[in-house]
Amino acid sequence: MLPLEGITVVSLEQAVAAPFATRQLADLGARVVKVERPGAGDFARSYDGTVNGMSSHFVWLNRSKESLALDLKQDAAKGALRRLVAGADVFVQNLAPGAAERLGFGAEALRGEDPGLVHCSVSGYGGGGPYTEKKAYDLLVQCEAGLVSITGTEEAPSKVGISVADIAAGMYAYSGVLSALFRRGRTGEGATIEVSMLEALGEWMGFPAYFSGYGGEEPRRSGASHAAIAPYGPFACSDGGVVFLGVQNEREWERFCGGVLGREGMAGDERFETNSKRVENRDALRAEIEGAFSGLPAEEAVGRLEGAGIANARMRDVKGFLDHPQLEARGRWREFGSPVGPLRALLPPATLAGTEPVMGPIPGVGEHNGSILEELGYGDAEISALANSQNGASA
φ, ψ for residue 200, nearest 5 deg: -65, -45
Q: Is residue 225 part of a domain?
A: no
Q: Which residues are catalytic?
A: 226
pLDDT at 393: 54
**Residue that is last in its domain, among 294, 315, 336:** 315
**Which pLDDT tens digits describe the chain residue by residue (395 residues)?**
899 999 999 999 999 999 999 999 999 999 999 999 999 999 999 999 999 999 999 999 999 999 999 999 999 999 999 999 999 999 999 999 999 999 999 999 999 999 999 999 999 999 999 999 999 999 999 999 999 999 998 899 999 999 999 999 999 999 999 999 999 999 999 999 999 999 999 999 999 999 889 988 888 888 888 878 999 999 999 998 899 999 999 999 999 999 999 998 999 999 999 999 999 999 999 999 999 999 999 999 999 999 999 999 988 889 999 999 999 999 999 999 999 999 999 999 998 888 999 999 999 999 999 999 999 998 988 888 888 888 765 43
Q: Is residue 219 part of a domain?
A: no
Q: Is residue 221 part of a domain?
A: no
Asked if 39 and 166 sit in the same domain, the reply is: yes
Q: Is residue 43 part of a domain?
A: yes
Asked if 311 and 348 sit in the same domain, the reply is: no
Q: How many CB atoms are located within 10 Å of the residue 223 CB?
A: 15
Q: Is residue 135 part of a domain?
A: yes
Q: Nearest 5 degrees, angle CA 133-CA 138-CA 140?
A: 65
CATH classification at residue 265:
3.30.1540.10
- Which pTM value belongs to this model? 0.89
CA distance 334 to 220: 41
Omega cis (within 30) before 349: no
Question: What size, in residues, is the chain?
Answer: 395
Q: Is residue 290 part of a domain?
A: yes
**Which of 14, 18, 96, 21 minimizes the C-alpha distance to 47?**
14
Helical segments of the chain, H only:
17-27, 56-61, 75-86, 99-103, 107-113, 138-144, 147-150, 164-187, 197-204, 206-215, 250-255, 275-280, 282-293, 298-308, 318-322, 325-329, 369-375, 380-390
**Whole domain around residue 274: which residue ranges?**
232-315
Q: Is residue 3 part of a domain?
A: no
Asked if 119 and 190 sit in the same domain, the reply is: yes
Exposure of 335 in the CB half-sphere (CA atoms within 13 A): 5
Asked if 180 and 288 sit in the same domain, the reply is: no
Strands (E), 256-310: none
Asked if 239 and 297 sit in the same domain, the reply is: yes
Secondary structure of residue 152 in the 3-state scheme: strand
Asked if 246 and 145 sit in the same domain, the reply is: no
Asked if 265 and 179 sit in the same domain, the reply is: no
Residue 292: CB partners within 8 Å, gap ≥ 6? Answer: 260, 261, 262, 263
pLDDT at 394: 45
**Residue that is last in its domain, among 262, 286, 315:** 315
Q: Is residue 1 part of a domain?
A: no
Asked if 305 and 336 sit in the same domain, the reply is: no
Asked if 112 and 81 sit in the same domain, the reply is: yes
pLDDT at 391: 74
Asked if 386 and 267 sit in the same domain, the reply is: no
Taking the alpha carbons at both ends of the chain, their separation in whole angstroms is 38
In the chain, the number of structural domains is 2
Asked if 100 and 179 sit in the same domain, the reply is: yes
pLDDT at 333: 95
CATH classification at residue 102:
3.40.50.10540
Asked if 238 and 311 sit in the same domain, the reply is: yes
CA distance 28 to 357: 6
